[in-house]
A and B are shown apart, each in its own frame.
Chain A
Amino acid sequence: MIRNTRAGYGLLAIALHWTIAALVVGQISLGLVMLRVTDQRLAFDLIQWHKSIGLLILALIVIRLAWRMANPQPRPLASLRRWEKTASQAVHRLLYALLIALPLTGWALVSASVLGIPTLVFGLFLFPHLPVGVSEGGEDFWRLLHGSLGFTALALVVIHIAAALRHHFILHDGVLRRMLRPVRRTKA
């Protein structure tokens, strides 16, 4: 089924989850690599990719949240303990918040930069700057925030993946599986 039910995730929620997951893992790696390569030409190109992919993630997260609100939320598995439910919900909420805050702070950092480098999304269309003050200080502020959030997101992603693997390989429950297989249509 395309839509979620109370019993499980639908195809669209699953597709969005894995697309965003792949993009976010790539995006964090890209962020770390692009600032550390010595080849400045490559660095410039990687940063342009990073900006485009970041904005794509923002668009997908907005769609995902809207879809989440328009769908029933699958019940937590009955086997989960109370702390597991609380912890997983907290991590999921934080991940959503970070995946909105990260593109916004990245966008702000680019907009505040005295270098004024335009953002040409995937080389296709010009993306406007945010109306933030342009200054070295402003740019440094947003850079620090963006970088810190990036490392926080990395930590959360690691926790999130570790938890999913624990459920699958140690607890042998259906937590990971239900994010892999769309829920079937139940007969009324």
Chain B
Amino acid sequence: MVERFPAIAVLLFLAASVQAAAAPSLSAVVGRYSIMTPGSSLFFAVPAVGGPGITGRFDRFDGRIDIPASSVEHARVEIIIYPDSVATGQKRVDDFLKSNAVFDTANERTIVFRSTHVQRTGEDTATIVGSLTARGRTFRETFHVRLAESGRGALRFHVEGRVLRSRYGMDVGTPIYSNVVDFDMNLAFRRR
């Protein structure tokens, strides 16, 4: 899944001021960042009633964060996931997820998250709201972000969120498989 968080700006700020002994100024994190695929992971889990459910990850994704000098609130995050890179460790499940039952990768190449709003919730945490677009449908989704690391032009976030798949026309298998998809992501960014 994808986040785009202006929240990041806030986090950066936080990270800067809280984590580092010598708190870097906001200007230290201002800039444009790109996601680093090595060092990032996008895991998801769909629980099932009385079964192991499905866990998997996306192996291909892009993402950037832009933190303008003008205002942290205007930081923008965009994450693009390529669902044909889904991997569950079971080819049959991968094929099913790529089929028209779920991601329909023959027709839908990307899942996109664009941040719209960030709210700080703690010293190094924030809630990021944005629009998630999958299979041609767009809904507001919320992700919880923790700044895990920052420094030397790099940022690392831990992101969690729950998405109702039915809204995106992916409700196949409910109620055997939960409608709620749990996302657990580690996203590493480097300044461009």
Contacts and interface: CB of A to CB of B under 8 A. Distances in A.
Interface of A: 39-41, 43-45, 48, 114-118, 120, 123, 126, 128
User: Which 5 pairs, one residue from A and one from B, show the smallest C-beta to C-beta distance?
Assistant: A40-B99, A41-B101, A40-B101, A118-B51, A126-B50
Nearest to A45: B172
B48 interface: yes
A117 B51 contact: yes
Contacts of B151: none
What bracket does the count of chain B residues touching chain A fall in? 10 to 19
Given A117-B51, A118-B48, A118-B51, A44 B175 contact: no
A146 B115 CA distance: 51
B101 A44 contact: yes
Given A41-B172, A44-B96, A118-B176, 15 more contacts: A39-B101, A40-B96, A41-B101, A44-B101, A44-B173, A48-B176, A116-B48, A116-B51, A116-B52, A117-B48, A118-B48, A118-B49, A120-B49, A120-B176, A128-B50
A85 B173 CA distance: 47
Contacts of A120: 49, 175-176
Contacts of B92: 115
Contacts of A117: 48, 51, 176
B93 A115 contact: yes
B49 A126 contact: yes
27 contacts: A39-B100, A39-B101, A40-B100, A40-B101, A41-B99, A41-B100, A41-B101, A41-B172, A43-B101, A44-B173, A45-B172, A48-B176, A114-B90, A115-B90, A115-B92, A115-B93, A116-B48, A117-B51, A118-B48, A118-B50, A118-B51, A120-B49, A120-B175, A120-B176, A123-B175, A126-B50, A128-B50
A156 to B, nearest CB: 31
Contacts of A39: 100-101
Contacts of B50: 118, 126, 128
A44 B49 CA distance: 16
Contacts of B48: 116-118
Nearest to A39: B100
A44 B52 CA distance: 18
B102 to A, nearest CB: 8
Nearest to A118: B51
A176 to B, nearest CB: 41
Contacts of B101: 39-41, 43-44
A109 to B, nearest CB: 14
A123 B48 CA distance: 13
Contacts of B52: 116
Contacts of A41: 99-101, 172
Instruction: Pick the most buried of A41, A44, A123, A126: most chain B CB atoms within 10 A of its CB.
Output: A41
A40 B51 CA distance: 21
A78 B52 CA distance: 58
A43 B173 CA distance: 11
Contacts of A45: 172
Interface string B77-98: 0000000000000101100100
Given A126-B49, A126-B50, A44 B90 contact: no
A17 B32 CA distance: 73
Contacts of B175: 120, 123
A65 B63 CA distance: 64
Contacts of A116: 48, 51-52
